[in-house]
Structure 1
Amino acid sequence: MSKILLIGYSTESTMSSFVEYLDSKSFSYDILDLCKITSCNFFHYNYSFKDLRISVNEDVFRFSEYDAFFTRGYYYDHGEIAVNRRLSDIMSVINGYLHFTQKRVINRPNMRGFNGNKFAHSILMESCGFRVPTTLTIGDSDLIIKLIADDLEGWVTKPSSGIRCEIKHITKQQASQISTGVINPLLIQKRIKGDDVRVHCVGEKQLPLMIRSSSVDYRYGKIDEYSPDIDIPTSQSVAMKQYQRRTGLNFIGFDFKISELDGMWYALEANPMPGFDFFDRRCDRKISQALLDLLIADDSSVRHKKFEEYSMEKDRIKIISPFGKR
């Protein structure tokens, strides 16, 4: 049986939900709890290209002993310089090992599909065949006011980074209250009214969930209806596979809107480290099972390719191996 290491915060809802599912299946795993790293009395690591050994109090993790890794490791500010430095240091070391190891990893660090840069992210999505709503980053309040005043369908504000934030509709009244002149750049996107669809791609599987809500952002409002029984258009299915191939990600959460005007699917975002517990519980835990299947699969498609294999053909970005020719 494959030996699995989970990396993340035990208090985070998605990680705790996945752990709960593994326990319900009596599946054996180890977990490197980043919460313990922030509060431990003893912490030490040894790192080489072939192995990483981390000691946290009495727990010792030798990465070379594991067959696969599931990571939800990320850094956040704890408010203490020493703790922040420790967490930043260990995340850098873990991410370095996970990015280049030949073993199975969900998801590899540094393969985020430009999620932290929404401008580049939109370009990448469009190049994969998605239909993306008009998205603008504007630092001129007068232009924002004119755009909104002349558009009856409306616009929404979105975060310009990968940080989760509520999506809000900008009304004409709100636009008129923006101070004139140069402002901090604001990312706005054409509002698409209609049902939301979240599709989790886990390896070759595509698991959709339709969500109907009267709120602009269902995550912060009331959900009226949801259903996993929805057909994904072939064009969108192909685009998602293309996105996976382009980024090398084997687990992605795609956000779509289905226009109530013409039924067209619009891609809003591709999440490289999706929080999936909310969706998982509404589709009979199929996401967790698919992740488990992927972690224990004896399949070269989930193993790491040589770095040169990520060189892009034709319109793809060329990435040069840091190790020179082999």
Structure 2
Amino acid sequence: MILLWGVSSDGPLAAVQAALARRGAPVFHLDQRRAAETVLDLRYDETGVSGELTIGADRCTLADVTGVYVRAYDTRALLDADADVALHEHAQNLEGAVQAFLDVTPAKLINPAAAMASNSSKPYQAALIARHGFLTPPTLVTTDPAAAVAFQARHEAVIYKSVSGVRSIVSRLTDDHLDRLDDIAWCPTQFQAQVPGRDFRVHVVGERLFTCEIATEADDYRYAHRQDLAVSITEGHLPEEVAERCRRLAADLGLAFAGVDLRRTPQDEWCCFEVNPSPAFTYYEDLTGLPIAEAVADLLIAQAEERAAASRATKPTAARGQAVGA
């Protein structure tokens, strides 16, 4: 059984669910919007995980779960503001219980919470990235406006963005921002020297790589329309040595599925900005036709097949030549 955790309107989750359906794989969708109907009975002892997940009339035996694709949202953001206190408490307790199950299940997780945590601190993740031979841009995280001004003077072309795992728009720091720099006193902000070059988005799915090449003049290609600029996203190709670095980086971060943001400089060096542990891959898949959802589905199914093979290997068999019914 493959467990999908998220909301039905989420594009990546829906794409993976459709890919699993095409393969005839058994799927149970833990829909966060149906929290009021959901009950989780989780038990864990020396024999392993047991219990049941119930949503209305639908049931999932936890011991049968072999793979989990996590695209969960903050439960608090999904509930109506006027929902009663009891529902809020139930939904948040349910979220904690599901996470407890994911912490102990032997199922293949895409991705474990512990592995995803590195993205919660961009500077911490950058230090991990640098160990794999990628360039990382000179960076300043500060609440001091004077330090930001000095950093800009040193590097001239500078961008700024969120220091946390919360998505933010990458923007160029210009003189128009200087009169608002005092605002960073209340919000630690990340400034980076701007790296010239061509962007690449690499989706690592197990050992498979799906590379997109991005051409644009925008500060942040995801929001090129905000600057009235065009963006072109096509299938790209990496040197094998760079591809292998991407595989090793994702594996060392504990991520079975990751979105790696690269830039190739005019000097043919490779800079890595971030590794996204829950990539919204459908944006790239829709533009390039790369079968990313299919690869994620294959990865989830492979775990089920491995477990079935292991179970067959450990089953006792009758001794050869033994009389039956004697």
TM norm structure 2: 0.81
% of aligned pairs identical? 22
Give the superposition deviation at 1:140. 1.0
Matched-pair contact (CA < 8 Å) for 1:53–1:60: yes
Write out aligned runs for 1:99-110 (5 A): 99-110=103-114
Q: Which residue is equivalent to 1:90?
A: 94
Give the superposition deviation at 1:285. 4.2
Q: Which residue is equivalent to 1:286?
A: 291
One-letter amino acid of the structure 2 residue matched with residue 149 of structure 1? A
Alignment of 1:267 with 2:272, yes or no, is yes
Give the superposition deviation at 1:176. 4.6
Per-residue CA deviations over 1:152-202 (Å, capped at 9, x if unaligned) read: 3x1111111111111111113312542399553211111123322110100
One-letter amino acid of the structure 2 residue matched with residue 233 of structure 1? P
Partners in 2 of 1:301 and 1:135 — Cα distance? Answer: 43
One-letter amino acid of the structure 2 residue matched with residue 169 of structure 1? R
Matched-pair contact (CA < 8 Å) for 2:6–2:13: yes
Q: 1:74 to 1:22 in 2, by over 3 A?
A: same
Alignment of 1:63 with 2:62, yes or no, is yes
Q: Which residue is equivalent to 2:302?
A: 297
Partners in 1 of 2:145 and 2:174 — Cα distance? Answer: 14
CA-based RMSD: 2.6
Give the superposition deviation at 1:279. 1.2
Partners in 2 of 1:143 and 1:7 — Cα distance? Answer: 43
One-letter amino acid of the structure 2 residue matched with residue 63 of structure 1? L
Partners in 1 of 2:153 and 2:86 — Cα distance? Answer: 50
Q: 1:36 to 1:208 in 2, by over 3 A?
A: same
Q: Which residue is equivalent to 2:9?
A: 11
Stretch of structure 1 that moved more, 122-131 or 21-30 = 21-30
Q: 1:299 to 1:129 in 2, by over 3 A?
A: farther
Secondary structure of the 2:232 match is: strand
Q: 1:83 to 1:115 in 2, by over 3 A?
A: farther
Alignment of 1:243 with 2:249, yes or no, is yes
Partners in 1 of 2:88 and 2:33 — Cα distance? Answer: 12
Q: 1:176 to 1:301 in 2, by over 3 A?
A: farther
Write out aligned runs for 1:197-216 (5 A): 197-216=200-219
One-letter amino acid of the structure 2 residue matched with residue 279 of structure 1? Y
Partners in 1 of 2:95 and 2:300 — Cα distance? Answer: 21
- Structure with a larger share of its residues in helix: 2
Per-residue CA deviations over 1:269-291 (Å, capped at 9, x if unaligned) read: 00111111111223324111111
Matched-pair contact (CA < 8 Å) for 1:133–1:266: yes
Alignment of 1:169 with 2:178, yes or no, is no
Secondary structure of the 1:144 match is: helix
Q: Which residue is equivalent to 1:45?
A: 40
One-letter amino acid of the structure 1 residue matched with residue 146 of structure 2? D
Partners in 2 of 1:8 and 1:249 — Cα distance? Answer: 18
Q: 1:181 to 1:290 in 2, by over 3 A?
A: closer
Matched-pair contact (CA < 8 Å) for 1:149–1:172: no
Partners in 1 of 2:173 and 2:162 — Cα distance? Answer: 14
Secondary structure of the 1:51 match is: strand
Give the superposition deviation at 1:8. 1.0
Secondary structure of the 1:178 match is: helix
Give the superposition deviation at 1:236. 2.6
Write out aligned runs for 1:79-158 (5 A): 79=81, 80=83, 81-112=85-116, 114-152=118-156, 154-158=157-161
Match of 2:27 among 19, 29, 35: 29
Give the superposition deviation at 1:96. 2.1
Q: 1:198 to 1:183 in 2, by over 3 A?
A: same
Secondary structure of the 1:110 match is: helix
One-letter amino acid of the structure 2 residue matched with residue 161 of structure 1? S
Structure 2: runs of 5 or more not aligned: 308-326
Give the superposition deviation at 1:9. 0.8
Give the superposition deviation at 1:67. 2.3
Q: Which residue is equivalent to 2:72?
A: 73
Matched-pair contact (CA < 8 Å) for 2:12–2:293: no
Structure 1: runs of 5 or more not aligned: 303-326
Partners in 2 of 1:140 and 1:20 — Cα distance? Answer: 49
Q: 1:30 to 1:180 in 2, by over 3 A?
A: closer
TM norm structure 1: 0.81
Secondary structure of the 1:282 match is: helix
Secondary structure of the 2:118 match is: coil
- Largest Rg, 1 or 2: 2
Q: Which protein, 1 or 2, shows the higher relative CO under an 8 Å CA cutoff with sep ≥ 6?
A: 2
Q: 1:283 to 1:63 in 2, by over 3 A?
A: farther
